[in-house]
Structure 1
Amino acid sequence: MSNIVYAFVGGLLLGIATVGYLYINGRIAGISGLLAQVINPTKDIFKSSAFWFIAGLVITPFIYGYFYQPEIEIKANTFALILAGVLVGFGTRLGAGCTSGHGICGMSRLSKRSIVATVVFMFAGMLTVYIIRHVLG
């Protein structure tokens, strides 16, 4: 399969999961908000749809890797990956949401706040890549 097909199928699955979560729970599938519900549960964690949604996101790559064993080589420094994860987490709290909440769910609802947030996310990402590749070398 080509990368275009993988991207199409991935987008289709994201759309189905997002619409399904909204339909079943009446809430958007913003991952940072769901993760916050899992970290600070107000009810039995195993009855939480947020827990099962996040669990599916964590488990699915392992299942895929078991059956398809993709050839992936991670060349990045482990410390840099951990730092990047912490900065992304900080950014989602600072921006009151993440790319899934703003970029997928918010933009599809034509939320002005989400459109602005997504433009800022994308610009910051492009600027970061430029600085890392061309300025820091």
Structure 2
Amino acid sequence: MTAYGASLAGGLLIGLSAALLLVLNGRVAGISGIVGRLSQGIQVPVNAAFVAGLLCGPVVYRAVFGQWPEATITTSPALLIAGGLLVGFGSRMGSGCTSGHGVVGLARLSPRSMVAVATFLGAAIVTVGIMRAIGS
């Protein structure tokens, strides 16, 4: 497999699952919304199946490639927790997360999603710049 093969396959699977959820269920595949509805007890079977599919991803990867996917975390647990809380707050404030706005919203040419994705990317660029300046 080429250097980009796994990323391409993953992207295709994400797009396929998002399209199937939208066509078959009429729901946008936004992970924050799916987890939020699951925690509220709304559409439990569908939302639980989607979350279970996400959690089974590494197991499927191991079955296909014979090893666990490699993940290297080079930052502190405190920074990871702070980042997770900020992402959660931002996804609530922006009425969706990168998966809902970026994958499905952009494909539907949603103006709100275009603004949200531009904001996500802009904030990410600024954050990387700040973190590199602090780390230097």
- How many residues are aligned here? 134
Q: Aligned pair 1:42/2:39, yes or no?
A: no
- 2:126 is aligned to 127
Query: How far is the alpha carbon of 1:126 from its aligned partner?
Result: 0.8
Percent of residue pairs bearing the same amino acid type: 41
User: CA–CA distance in 1 between the matches of 2:129 and 2:21?
Assistant: 36
Which ranges of structure 1 fall in alignment gaps of 5 or more residues?
none
Q: Aligned pair 1:7/2:12, yes or no?
A: no
TM-score by length of 1: 0.88
Query: How far is the alpha carbon of 1:104 from its aligned partner?
Result: 0.8
- 2:75 is aligned to 76
Aligned-partner residue type, residue 125 of structure 1: A
Which ranges of structure 2 fall in alignment gaps of 5 or more residues?
none
TM-score by length of 2: 0.89
Query: How far is the alpha carbon of 1:59 from its aligned partner?
Result: 2.2
Q: What are the superposed Cα offsets for residues 107-127 of structure 1, whole Å, 9 maximum, x if unpaired?
A: 101111100110010010011
User: Structure 1 pair 14/88, CA: closer, same or farther in 2 (3 Å)?
Assistant: same
Q: Aligned pair 1:60/2:57, yes or no?
A: yes
User: CA–CA distance in 1 between the matches of 2:102 and 2:70?
Assistant: 29
User: CA–CA distance in 1 between the matches of 2:62 and 2:116?
Assistant: 33
Query: How far is the alpha carbon of 1:100 from its aligned partner?
Result: 0.8
Alignment of 1:91-106 (within 5 A): 91-106=90-105
User: CA–CA distance in 1 between the matches of 2:13 and 2:103?
Assistant: 12
User: CA–CA distance in 2 between the matches of 1:7 and 1:68?
Assistant: 16
User: Structure 1 pair 112/5, CA: closer, same or farther in 2 (3 Å)?
Assistant: same
- 1:19 is aligned to 19
